[in-house]
Amino acid sequence: MALLYAVSGITVVRQDEVAIVQRWGRLVGETRAIQEHGPGLLFALPRPIDQVVRVKTQRVSELSIQTLAEPAGVFSSNGDSLDPIRVGYALSADQNIVHVAMMARYRVRDPVDWAFTGPKSEDILRVEVAAAMIRSLGEMGVDHILSDGRKDLIATASRRAQDGLDAAHSGLALVSLELANLGPPHALAPDFDDVQSAFIETETQKKNAQAFAQNVIPSAHAEADAAVQTARADAATAQAQARGDADAFLALEREYRTHSELVRERMYRDAVERAIGSAQQVRWVPPPVGTHYQGTRIQVDVQKAGARPVPPAEG
């Protein structure tokens, strides 16, 4: 019996556990590394000298937090008010009432604080998570909370809740925080649904407009660039033609100053050739016989397609 009593202090520490030894009610070891014993055999003195406390540090536990939730059947008979004593709620930054039910997952991170220093796990976790959620909700507008702000809300509340757990020496680590239910009071739910529908429709219209703009704007830019290039080409062509005409006119003017009679005769002949060249029929009429000679008569008939015939003229 003495041998059995002597070996009764040997403890098997499992893979998901950490063991802590108390000797005469005081922790054995000066630092955390010495105080905490990992998996394997732990040789301790038998009771009541040593007491071995095994803490499961790898197990993730869940806790449902309904502090800010909306219980069923607590409204007044007309259904448009709530009892603030029996109904949990939080206020948003724009003074709107919000109910939230949460699911917290946690594990033991510091076995010494959890076993000997901090308060009861569920109590401190419920208080710190609710306080962090109330403060986080009070910094956000209700539209942002109910639409696309849940991710930011969870991140902010989780960080604040973990800071509170550490300050209370709870030894707990908040693994995750989920919102089981988040919304306004059920009496105002239809109005908030209308707002949400309008918000979704607005976002849809905005995305459609952005998609339309992404299709139209490049096409408009392409058309504008094409118009600018065409205008530049037309301007260059017109300028080149104008310069050519101006150079030809100046050359003709210089030649006219030098040989005016020759240039005048040549221009006259060119004009007559262009006029006769466009005629369909040319007839040479002999001049009258007599003393009154007035030159040669030329009759030119010009008839365009679809035009009425022009009678011959004498001159």
Domain identity same for 175 and 133: yes
pLDDT value of position 291: 55
- Rounded CA-CA distance 68/309 in Å is 103
Q: Is residue 229 one of the residues assigned to a domain? A: no
Q: Which domain holds residue 248?
A: 243-274
Domain identity same for 109 and 47: no
pLDDT value of position 275: 76
Question: Which amino acid appears at position 313 of this protein?
Answer: A
Domain identity same for 132 and 175: yes
Number of domains in the chain: 3
pLDDT value of position 87: 83
pLDDT value of position 148: 82
Residue whose C-alpha is closest to residue 106's, from 134, 78, 126, 86: 126
Distances in whole angstroms, Cα of residue 234 to Cα of each of 49, 80, 222, 228, 231: 106, 75, 18, 10, 5
Burial group, residue 98, by CB count within 10 angstroms (0-12, 13-18, 19+): buried
Q: Is residue 309 one of the residues assigned to a domain? A: no
pLDDT value of position 78: 47
Q: Is residue 143 one of the residues assigned to a domain? A: yes
Averages of pLDDT over each 10 residues, the chain, 315 residues: 75 75 74 72 72 80 90 53 78 90 91 79 91 93 85 94 92 92 81 80 91 90 92 94 91 86 86 76 64 52 49 45
CATH of the domain at 99: 3.30.479.30
* Residue at a domain's end among 184, 211, 232: 184
Q: Is residue 78 one of the residues assigned to a domain? A: no
pLDDT value of position 77: 39
Domain identity same for 20 and 108: no
Q: Is residue 122 one of the residues assigned to a domain? A: yes
Distances in whole angstroms, Cα of residue 257 to Cα of each of 56, 84, 250, 253, 269: 117, 111, 11, 6, 19
Domain identity same for 43 and 87: no
Domain identity same for 41 and 131: no
Residue whose C-alpha is closest to residue 162's, from 173, 154, 148: 173
pLDDT value of position 235: 94
pLDDT value of position 165: 93
Supply the pTM of this predicted model: 0.56
Domain identity same for 110 and 34: no
Q: Is residue 313 one of the residues assigned to a domain? A: no
